[in-house]
A and B are shown apart, each in its own frame.
Chain A
Amino acid sequence: MNEFSIYLGNAGKGIVSSVLAASKYILAPIFVLTALATFLSQMEGASMITGQIDLARLKDNVLVLGTLIALLAFFRGFYPRGSLSRCVFGVAVSLLVCIWIWVIAMGGNMTLTMEEASFSISYLGFVLLFILAAALRGAFFAAEMLSYRKEWLASLEPQAVPAGSETA
Protein backbone atom coordinates (compact mmCIF):
# COMPACT_ATOMS: atom_id res chain seq x y z
CA MET A 1 0.00 0.00 0.00
CA ASN A 2 1.35 3.41 -0.96
CA GLU A 3 0.67 5.73 1.97
CA PHE A 4 1.56 8.77 -0.16
CA SER A 5 -1.11 8.03 -2.75
CA ILE A 6 -3.20 11.06 -3.64
CA TYR A 7 -6.31 8.92 -3.48
CA LEU A 8 -5.97 8.60 0.31
CA GLY A 9 -6.29 12.29 1.08
CA ASN A 10 -8.86 15.02 1.37
CA ALA A 11 -8.12 18.17 -0.68
CA GLY A 12 -10.48 20.35 1.38
CA LYS A 13 -8.65 19.58 4.61
CA GLY A 14 -5.34 20.15 2.83
CA ILE A 15 -6.41 23.60 1.63
CA VAL A 16 -7.65 24.59 5.09
CA SER A 17 -4.32 23.49 6.64
CA SER A 18 -2.35 25.34 3.94
CA VAL A 19 -4.35 28.57 4.31
CA LEU A 20 -3.94 28.51 8.10
CA ALA A 21 -0.19 27.96 7.74
CA ALA A 22 0.10 30.75 5.15
CA SER A 23 -1.76 33.14 7.46
CA LYS A 24 0.47 32.28 10.37
CA TYR A 25 3.84 32.08 8.65
CA ILE A 26 3.48 34.52 5.72
CA LEU A 27 0.65 37.01 6.04
CA ALA A 28 0.86 37.86 9.74
CA PRO A 29 4.66 38.29 9.87
CA ILE A 30 4.75 40.21 6.57
CA PHE A 31 2.08 42.52 7.95
CA VAL A 32 4.04 43.03 11.18
CA LEU A 33 7.31 43.60 9.31
CA THR A 34 5.68 46.06 6.90
CA ALA A 35 4.09 47.95 9.79
CA LEU A 36 7.45 48.00 11.59
CA ALA A 37 9.24 49.26 8.46
CA THR A 38 6.63 52.00 8.02
CA PHE A 39 6.89 52.99 11.67
CA LEU A 40 10.68 53.13 11.53
CA SER A 41 10.67 55.08 8.26
CA GLN A 42 8.69 57.82 10.02
CA MET A 43 11.09 57.93 12.93
CA GLU A 44 13.89 60.42 12.73
CA GLY A 45 17.30 58.79 12.52
CA ALA A 46 15.85 55.28 12.28
CA SER A 47 17.34 54.63 8.84
CA MET A 48 20.51 53.46 10.58
CA ILE A 49 18.49 50.85 12.48
CA THR A 50 16.53 49.62 9.46
CA GLY A 51 19.78 49.38 7.52
CA GLN A 52 21.30 47.10 10.14
CA ILE A 53 18.27 44.89 10.70
CA ASP A 54 17.64 44.64 6.93
CA LEU A 55 13.88 44.22 7.11
CA ALA A 56 13.60 43.71 3.32
CA ARG A 57 15.83 40.64 3.48
CA LEU A 58 13.95 39.37 6.51
CA LYS A 59 10.70 39.72 4.55
CA ASP A 60 12.17 37.74 1.63
CA ASN A 61 13.26 34.96 3.99
CA VAL A 62 9.82 34.87 5.61
CA LEU A 63 8.20 34.69 2.18
CA VAL A 64 10.39 31.82 0.95
CA LEU A 65 10.22 29.74 4.13
CA GLY A 66 6.54 30.57 4.70
CA THR A 67 5.65 29.42 1.20
CA LEU A 68 7.46 26.13 1.76
CA ILE A 69 5.65 25.66 5.09
CA ALA A 70 2.26 26.43 3.51
CA LEU A 71 2.98 23.98 0.68
CA LEU A 72 3.95 21.16 3.03
CA ALA A 73 1.10 22.04 5.38
CA PHE A 74 -1.29 21.25 2.53
CA PHE A 75 -0.09 17.65 2.47
CA ARG A 76 -0.07 17.46 6.26
CA GLY A 77 -3.77 18.35 6.27
CA PHE A 78 -4.47 16.37 3.11
CA TYR A 79 -3.49 12.98 4.51
CA PRO A 80 -5.58 11.37 7.26
CA ARG A 81 -4.60 10.78 10.86
CA GLY A 82 -2.67 7.58 11.40
CA SER A 83 -0.98 7.65 8.00
CA LEU A 84 2.80 7.76 7.66
CA SER A 85 2.43 10.46 5.01
CA ARG A 86 0.68 12.88 7.44
CA CYS A 87 3.36 12.16 10.05
CA VAL A 88 6.20 12.79 7.56
CA PHE A 89 4.72 16.07 6.33
CA GLY A 90 3.87 17.10 9.91
CA VAL A 91 7.44 16.53 11.06
CA ALA A 92 8.79 18.28 7.92
CA VAL A 93 6.57 21.30 8.58
CA SER A 94 7.77 21.40 12.21
CA LEU A 95 11.39 21.32 11.10
CA LEU A 96 10.76 24.18 8.67
CA VAL A 97 8.96 26.10 11.40
CA CYS A 98 12.04 25.68 13.63
CA ILE A 99 14.20 27.16 10.84
CA TRP A 100 11.61 29.89 10.27
CA ILE A 101 11.74 30.84 13.97
CA TRP A 102 15.54 30.91 13.91
CA VAL A 103 15.58 33.12 10.80
CA ILE A 104 12.90 35.57 11.92
CA ALA A 105 14.49 35.79 15.38
CA MET A 106 17.83 36.54 13.71
CA GLY A 107 19.55 33.73 15.55
CA GLY A 108 18.66 35.15 18.95
CA ASN A 109 21.07 38.06 18.71
CA MET A 110 20.61 41.62 17.63
CA THR A 111 23.20 44.37 17.60
CA LEU A 112 22.55 47.95 16.66
CA THR A 113 25.48 50.29 16.28
CA MET A 114 25.10 54.01 16.18
CA GLU A 115 27.71 56.73 16.06
CA GLU A 116 28.53 56.96 19.75
CA ALA A 117 26.59 54.03 21.12
CA SER A 118 25.77 50.43 20.46
CA PHE A 119 23.04 48.18 21.76
CA SER A 120 23.22 44.44 21.82
CA ILE A 121 20.64 41.97 23.00
CA SER A 122 20.84 38.22 23.18
CA TYR A 123 17.54 36.37 23.52
CA LEU A 124 18.74 32.95 22.45
CA GLY A 125 17.01 31.35 25.44
CA PHE A 126 13.61 32.56 24.24
CA VAL A 127 14.32 31.46 20.68
CA LEU A 128 15.27 27.97 21.87
CA LEU A 129 12.04 27.78 23.90
CA PHE A 130 10.03 28.69 20.79
CA ILE A 131 11.96 26.09 18.81
CA LEU A 132 11.28 23.53 21.54
CA ALA A 133 7.55 24.24 21.22
CA ALA A 134 7.75 23.82 17.43
CA ALA A 135 9.75 20.60 17.80
CA LEU A 136 7.15 19.24 20.24
CA ARG A 137 4.57 19.85 17.52
CA GLY A 138 6.64 17.56 15.30
CA ALA A 139 6.69 14.97 18.07
CA PHE A 140 2.94 15.34 18.32
CA PHE A 141 2.50 14.17 14.71
CA ALA A 142 4.61 11.10 15.44
CA ALA A 143 2.52 10.36 18.54
CA GLU A 144 -0.66 11.02 16.57
CA MET A 145 0.34 8.51 13.90
CA LEU A 146 1.06 5.83 16.51
CA SER A 147 -2.20 6.58 18.27
CA TYR A 148 -4.44 6.49 15.20
CA ARG A 149 -2.46 3.93 13.21
CA LYS A 150 -4.56 0.84 13.95
CA GLU A 151 -7.86 2.62 13.32
CA TRP A 152 -6.64 4.07 10.07
CA LEU A 153 -5.26 0.73 8.84
CA ALA A 154 -8.55 -0.91 9.80
CA SER A 155 -10.45 1.68 7.82
CA LEU A 156 -8.51 0.63 4.74
CA GLU A 157 -9.51 -3.05 5.09
CA PRO A 158 -12.39 -4.12 2.82
CA GLN A 159 -15.63 -4.22 4.80
CA ALA A 160 -16.64 -7.83 5.74
CA VAL A 161 -19.99 -8.78 4.30
CA PRO A 162 -22.39 -10.02 7.03
CA ALA A 163 -23.42 -13.68 6.62
CA GLY A 164 -26.92 -14.23 5.20
CA SER A 165 -27.07 -10.90 3.53
CA GLU A 166 -26.26 -12.42 0.15
CA THR A 167 -29.08 -12.25 -2.33
CA ALA A 168 -29.88 -14.96 -4.69
Chain B
Amino acid sequence: MRWGLLAVRLSIVAVNLIIIAIILMSVLPLATGKVQVAVPEDEGAGPVMDGRKVTMSVPVDITNDGYFDIEGLTVRFKITDGGRVLSERSSEPVDAKAGRINHLNISIMMDLDEIDEEHLERLVFGSGILDLDVTVEGGYSLGLVRASISIREHMDWEPMVKGVEIDTSKVWWENNGSNMDMLVPYHFEASGILRGERVAIDAEIVNSTSALGSASAGIIIGDVNDGELRFVVPQDRYLWLQEHPEKLTLVADISVMGATMHLERPLETGGVT
Protein backbone atom coordinates (compact mmCIF):
# COMPACT_ATOMS: atom_id res chain seq x y z
CA MET B 1 0.00 0.00 0.00
CA ARG B 2 1.34 3.44 -0.96
CA TRP B 3 0.50 5.26 2.28
CA GLY B 4 1.99 8.63 1.35
CA LEU B 5 0.04 8.75 -1.88
CA LEU B 6 -3.10 7.63 -0.13
CA ALA B 7 -2.69 10.36 2.50
CA VAL B 8 -2.39 13.09 -0.14
CA ARG B 9 -5.32 11.68 -2.07
CA LEU B 10 -7.44 11.54 1.08
CA SER B 11 -6.46 15.12 1.93
CA ILE B 12 -7.66 16.28 -1.48
CA VAL B 13 -10.93 14.41 -1.04
CA ALA B 14 -11.34 15.84 2.47
CA VAL B 15 -10.77 19.44 1.33
CA ASN B 16 -13.17 18.99 -1.57
CA LEU B 17 -15.80 17.47 0.72
CA ILE B 18 -15.38 20.30 3.21
CA ILE B 19 -15.85 22.88 0.45
CA ILE B 20 -18.92 21.12 -0.94
CA ALA B 21 -20.40 20.71 2.54
CA ILE B 22 -19.87 24.38 3.44
CA ILE B 23 -21.36 25.54 0.15
CA LEU B 24 -24.39 23.28 0.48
CA MET B 25 -24.92 24.21 4.12
CA SER B 26 -24.63 27.90 3.23
CA VAL B 27 -26.71 28.02 0.07
CA LEU B 28 -29.53 25.61 0.96
CA PRO B 29 -30.91 27.58 3.93
CA LEU B 30 -30.77 30.79 1.89
CA ALA B 31 -32.43 29.16 -1.12
CA THR B 32 -35.19 27.56 0.96
CA GLY B 33 -35.98 30.73 2.89
CA LYS B 34 -34.65 29.55 6.22
CA VAL B 35 -32.93 32.85 6.77
CA GLN B 36 -35.37 35.71 7.03
CA VAL B 37 -35.20 39.27 8.20
CA ALA B 38 -38.23 41.13 9.51
CA VAL B 39 -38.77 44.46 11.16
CA PRO B 40 -41.65 44.03 13.62
CA GLU B 41 -44.35 46.61 13.08
CA ASP B 42 -45.32 48.98 15.89
CA GLU B 43 -42.24 48.07 17.85
CA GLY B 44 -39.96 50.74 16.49
CA ALA B 45 -39.27 53.21 19.24
CA GLY B 46 -38.75 56.73 18.04
CA PRO B 47 -35.48 58.55 18.38
CA VAL B 48 -34.38 59.15 21.95
CA MET B 49 -32.39 62.15 23.05
CA ASP B 50 -29.75 61.72 25.70
CA GLY B 51 -27.86 64.92 26.33
CA ARG B 52 -26.45 65.88 22.94
CA LYS B 53 -26.83 62.43 21.45
CA VAL B 54 -29.79 61.21 19.44
CA THR B 55 -30.20 57.45 19.43
CA MET B 56 -32.45 55.64 17.00
CA SER B 57 -33.25 52.00 17.68
CA VAL B 58 -34.57 49.60 15.08
CA PRO B 59 -35.73 46.20 16.32
CA VAL B 60 -34.97 43.46 13.80
CA ASP B 61 -36.01 39.83 13.95
CA ILE B 62 -33.60 37.57 12.12
CA THR B 63 -34.75 34.00 11.74
CA ASN B 64 -31.63 31.98 11.15
CA ASP B 65 -32.57 28.35 10.61
CA GLY B 66 -29.35 27.83 8.70
CA TYR B 67 -26.27 26.01 9.96
CA PHE B 68 -23.97 28.97 10.41
CA ASP B 69 -24.15 32.11 12.51
CA ILE B 70 -24.47 35.42 10.75
CA GLU B 71 -21.47 37.17 12.23
CA GLY B 72 -20.67 40.79 12.83
CA LEU B 73 -23.90 42.16 11.46
CA THR B 74 -23.54 45.92 11.33
CA VAL B 75 -25.62 48.73 9.98
CA ARG B 76 -23.75 51.81 8.82
CA PHE B 77 -25.42 55.01 7.87
CA LYS B 78 -24.28 58.29 6.46
CA ILE B 79 -26.41 61.38 6.24
CA THR B 80 -25.30 64.00 3.78
CA ASP B 81 -26.70 67.35 2.91
CA GLY B 82 -25.68 68.39 -0.58
CA GLY B 83 -22.52 66.33 -0.40
CA ARG B 84 -21.56 67.48 3.07
CA VAL B 85 -21.48 64.68 5.62
CA LEU B 86 -23.69 65.52 8.58
CA SER B 87 -23.28 62.26 10.38
CA GLU B 88 -21.64 58.93 9.77
CA ARG B 89 -22.13 56.14 12.24
CA SER B 90 -22.00 52.41 12.54
CA SER B 91 -23.98 50.19 14.87
CA GLU B 92 -22.24 47.78 17.20
CA PRO B 93 -21.63 44.41 15.47
CA VAL B 94 -24.12 41.76 16.51
CA ASP B 95 -24.34 38.05 15.74
CA ALA B 96 -27.47 36.22 14.61
CA LYS B 97 -27.02 32.74 16.02
CA ALA B 98 -27.94 29.72 13.93
CA GLY B 99 -31.01 27.67 14.72
CA ARG B 100 -33.13 30.34 16.36
CA ILE B 101 -34.97 33.60 15.98
CA ASN B 102 -32.69 36.44 16.97
CA HIS B 103 -34.32 39.57 18.32
CA LEU B 104 -31.75 42.22 17.66
CA ASN B 105 -31.92 45.85 18.51
CA ILE B 106 -29.77 47.77 16.11
CA SER B 107 -29.15 51.22 17.46
CA ILE B 108 -27.63 54.15 15.68
CA MET B 109 -26.38 57.17 17.52
CA MET B 110 -25.94 60.69 16.17
CA ASP B 111 -23.84 63.11 18.17
CA LEU B 112 -25.06 66.66 17.67
CA ASP B 113 -21.68 67.98 18.82
CA GLU B 114 -20.17 66.58 15.63
CA ILE B 115 -22.42 68.68 13.43
CA ASP B 116 -21.31 72.19 12.65
CA GLU B 117 -23.53 75.10 13.67
CA GLU B 118 -24.82 75.87 10.20
CA HIS B 119 -26.03 72.33 9.56
CA LEU B 120 -27.32 71.90 13.10
CA GLU B 121 -29.51 74.97 12.56
CA ARG B 122 -30.72 73.45 9.31
CA LEU B 123 -31.58 70.19 11.06
CA VAL B 124 -33.31 71.84 14.00
CA PHE B 125 -35.20 74.58 12.24
CA GLY B 126 -35.16 73.71 8.59
CA SER B 127 -36.72 71.15 6.30
CA GLY B 128 -35.39 69.67 3.13
CA ILE B 129 -34.14 66.54 1.50
CA LEU B 130 -31.17 64.75 2.95
CA ASP B 131 -29.34 61.83 1.40
CA LEU B 132 -29.25 58.71 3.51
CA ASP B 133 -26.79 55.93 2.73
CA VAL B 134 -27.52 52.74 4.62
CA THR B 135 -25.11 49.83 4.48
CA VAL B 136 -25.86 46.45 5.99
CA GLU B 137 -22.86 44.18 6.33
CA GLY B 138 -22.36 40.71 7.73
CA GLY B 139 -20.35 37.53 7.51
CA TYR B 140 -21.60 34.00 6.88
CA SER B 141 -20.33 30.50 6.26
CA LEU B 142 -17.77 30.49 9.07
CA GLY B 143 -16.57 33.88 7.92
CA LEU B 144 -15.73 32.63 4.44
CA VAL B 145 -18.27 34.94 2.87
CA ARG B 146 -18.81 38.55 3.74
CA ALA B 147 -21.49 40.57 2.01
CA SER B 148 -22.66 44.14 2.16
CA ILE B 149 -25.64 45.88 0.66
CA SER B 150 -25.76 49.64 0.36
CA ILE B 151 -28.87 51.58 -0.39
CA ARG B 152 -29.06 55.27 -1.03
CA GLU B 153 -32.31 57.02 -0.27
CA HIS B 154 -33.55 60.54 -0.16
CA MET B 155 -34.99 61.43 3.18
CA ASP B 156 -37.53 64.15 3.75
CA TRP B 157 -36.37 66.00 6.80
CA GLU B 158 -38.98 67.69 8.95
CA PRO B 159 -37.80 70.54 11.18
CA MET B 160 -37.49 69.68 14.86
CA VAL B 161 -38.78 73.11 15.75
CA LYS B 162 -41.30 74.61 13.39
CA GLY B 163 -44.09 77.13 13.19
CA VAL B 164 -42.17 79.62 15.28
CA GLU B 165 -44.40 82.64 15.55
CA ILE B 166 -43.97 85.82 17.53
CA ASP B 167 -47.27 87.54 16.90
CA THR B 168 -46.64 91.25 16.89
CA SER B 169 -50.24 91.95 15.86
CA LYS B 170 -51.52 90.81 19.25
CA VAL B 171 -49.37 92.95 21.51
CA TRP B 172 -50.88 94.19 24.75
CA TRP B 173 -49.68 96.37 27.58
CA GLU B 174 -49.75 95.91 31.34
CA ASN B 175 -48.97 98.43 33.98
CA ASN B 176 -46.51 96.96 36.43
CA GLY B 177 -46.62 99.95 38.81
CA SER B 178 -43.59 101.96 37.81
CA ASN B 179 -43.23 100.96 34.17
CA MET B 180 -45.27 99.46 31.39
CA ASP B 181 -44.83 95.91 30.22
CA MET B 182 -45.32 95.15 26.59
CA LEU B 183 -46.38 91.54 26.10
CA VAL B 184 -45.92 89.77 22.80
CA PRO B 185 -47.28 86.23 22.42
CA TYR B 186 -45.15 83.51 20.90
CA HIS B 187 -45.82 79.99 19.83
CA PHE B 188 -43.92 77.12 18.23
CA GLU B 189 -44.26 73.40 17.62
CA ALA B 190 -41.54 70.93 18.49
CA SER B 191 -40.83 67.36 17.63
CA GLY B 192 -41.41 64.85 20.42
CA ILE B 193 -37.71 64.07 20.43
CA LEU B 194 -37.08 67.51 21.95
CA ARG B 195 -39.52 67.05 24.82
CA GLY B 196 -37.84 68.26 27.98
CA GLU B 197 -35.26 70.34 26.13
CA ARG B 198 -34.95 74.01 27.00
CA VAL B 199 -35.62 76.68 24.42
CA ALA B 200 -34.25 80.15 25.09
CA ILE B 201 -35.72 83.23 23.45
CA ASP B 202 -33.77 86.47 23.64
CA ALA B 203 -35.59 89.37 22.09
CA GLU B 204 -35.21 93.09 21.68
CA ILE B 205 -37.43 95.82 20.35
CA VAL B 206 -35.49 98.33 18.35
CA ASN B 207 -36.20 101.36 16.27
CA SER B 208 -33.89 102.82 13.69
CA THR B 209 -31.53 104.21 16.30
CA SER B 210 -31.81 102.45 19.64
CA ALA B 211 -33.26 99.61 21.65
CA LEU B 212 -36.56 100.20 23.35
CA GLY B 213 -36.46 97.17 25.62
CA SER B 214 -35.45 93.57 25.85
CA ALA B 215 -36.98 90.32 27.01
CA SER B 216 -35.86 86.81 27.68
CA ALA B 217 -37.88 83.67 28.04
CA GLY B 218 -37.02 80.08 28.70
CA ILE B 219 -39.42 77.29 28.04
CA ILE B 220 -39.15 73.58 28.57
CA ILE B 221 -40.57 71.88 25.52
CA GLY B 222 -43.80 70.08 26.16
CA ASP B 223 -47.09 69.44 24.41
CA VAL B 224 -48.00 73.11 24.16
CA ASN B 225 -45.23 75.58 23.60
CA ASP B 226 -46.47 79.10 23.87
CA GLY B 227 -46.15 82.07 26.16
CA GLU B 228 -45.46 85.77 26.16
CA LEU B 229 -42.36 87.85 25.86
CA ARG B 230 -42.45 90.60 28.46
CA PHE B 231 -40.63 93.80 27.50
CA VAL B 232 -40.29 96.42 30.27
CA VAL B 233 -40.83 99.89 28.78
CA PRO B 234 -40.36 103.04 30.86
CA GLN B 235 -43.51 105.10 31.34
CA ASP B 236 -42.15 108.11 29.44
CA ARG B 237 -41.22 105.96 26.41
CA TYR B 238 -44.63 104.36 26.53
CA LEU B 239 -46.37 107.74 26.53
CA TRP B 240 -44.10 108.99 23.79
CA LEU B 241 -44.93 105.95 21.66
CA GLN B 242 -48.63 106.50 22.19
CA GLU B 243 -48.33 109.99 20.79
CA HIS B 244 -45.74 109.26 18.14
CA PRO B 245 -46.47 105.98 16.46
CA GLU B 246 -43.37 104.63 14.77
CA LYS B 247 -42.21 101.52 13.07
CA LEU B 248 -40.34 99.23 15.43
CA THR B 249 -38.74 95.89 14.87
CA LEU B 250 -38.83 92.92 17.19
CA VAL B 251 -35.56 91.01 16.89
CA ALA B 252 -35.42 87.57 18.45
CA ASP B 253 -32.91 84.75 18.74
CA ILE B 254 -34.46 81.38 19.49
CA SER B 255 -31.91 78.82 20.69
CA VAL B 256 -32.25 75.12 21.26
CA MET B 257 -29.48 72.54 21.57
CA GLY B 258 -26.89 75.04 20.40
CA ALA B 259 -28.77 75.93 17.23
CA THR B 260 -30.07 79.44 16.91
CA MET B 261 -32.76 80.88 14.71
CA HIS B 262 -32.93 84.59 14.09
CA LEU B 263 -36.30 86.26 13.62
CA GLU B 264 -37.32 89.81 12.85
CA ARG B 265 -40.90 91.03 12.99
CA PRO B 266 -42.25 94.53 12.33
CA LEU B 267 -44.11 96.10 15.20
CA GLU B 268 -46.56 98.95 14.79
CA THR B 269 -47.01 100.90 18.01
CA GLY B 270 -49.81 103.13 16.78
CA GLY B 271 -53.14 102.21 18.32
CA VAL B 272 -51.84 99.84 20.94
CA THR B 273 -53.65 99.95 24.21
A residues contacting B by CB (< 8 A) are 116-126, 129-130, 132-133, 136-137, 139-140, 143-144, 146-147
Which residue of the partner chain B has the closest CB to A137?
B12
Given A129-B18, A143-B5, does the pair A120, B147 have CB atoms closer than 8 Å?
A: yes
Contact A136 B146 (CB under 8 A): no
Contact among A119, A121, A133, A147 for B5, CB-based, below 8 A: A147
Number of B residues whose C-beta is below 8 Å from A? 27
- A116 CB to nearest chain B CB (Å): 5
Instruction: Judge whether B31 is part of the interface by a CB distance below 8 angstroms.
Output: no
Contact B15 A123 (CB under 8 A): no
List the B side residues contacting A123 at CB < 8 Å. 144-146
- B272 CB to nearest chain A CB (Å): 56
Contact B2 A125 (CB under 8 A): no
Contact among B19, B143, B147, B151 for A130, CB-based, below 8 A: B19
Contact A126 B144 (CB under 8 A): yes
Instruction: Judge whether B83 is part of the interface by a CB distance below 8 angstroms.
Output: no
Contact B19 A143 (CB under 8 A): no
Contact A129 B148 (CB under 8 A): no
CA distance A117 to B132 in the complex (A): 11
List the A side residues contacting B12 at CB < 8 Å. 133, 136-137, 140
Given A116-B151, A117-B150, A132-B15, does the pair A140, B145 have CB atoms closer than 8 Å?
A: no
Contact among B141, B145, B146, B150 for A118, CB-based, below 8 A: B150
Given A136-B12, A143-B8, A147-B2, does the pair A119, B147 have CB atoms closer than 8 Å?
A: yes
Which residue of the partner chain B has the closest CB to A119?
B149
Given A116-B152, A140-B9, A144-B5, does the pair A129, B15 have CB atoms closer than 8 Å?
A: yes
CA distance A79 to B115 in the complex (A): 72
Instruction: Judge whether B223 is part of the interface by a CB distance below 8 angstroms.
Output: no
Instruction: Judge whether B11 is part of the interface by a CB distance below 8 angstroms.
Output: yes
Provide the main secondary structure of the chain A interface. helix
Contact A136 B19 (CB under 8 A): no
A-B contact pairs, 11 of them (CB 8 A): A116-B152, A116-B153, A117-B151, A117-B152, A119-B149, A121-B148, A123-B146, A126-B23, A126-B144, A133-B16, A147-B5
Known: A122-B145, A136-B11. 19 other contacts (CB 8 A): A116-B151, A117-B149, A118-B149, A118-B150, A119-B147, A119-B149, A123-B144, A125-B141, A125-B142, A126-B144, A132-B15, A133-B12, A136-B8, A140-B12, A143-B4, A143-B5, A143-B7, A146-B4, A147-B2
- B11 CB to nearest chain A CB (Å): 6
CA distance A126 to B25 in the complex (A): 13
- A46 CB to nearest chain B CB (Å): 18
Given A116-B151, A126-B23, A143-B5, does the pair A133, B15 have CB atoms closer than 8 Å?
A: yes
Contact B4 A147 (CB under 8 A): yes
Which residue of the partner chain A has the closest CB to B145?
A123
List the B side residues contacting A140 at CB < 8 Å. 5, 8-9, 12
CA distance A125 to B146 in the complex (A): 9
List the A side residues contacting B145 at CB < 8 Å. 121-123, 125-126
List the B side residues contacting A129 at CB < 8 Å. 15, 18-19, 22, 144
List the A side residues contacting B23 at CB < 8 Å. 126
Among B116-165, those with CB < 8 Å from A are: 141-153
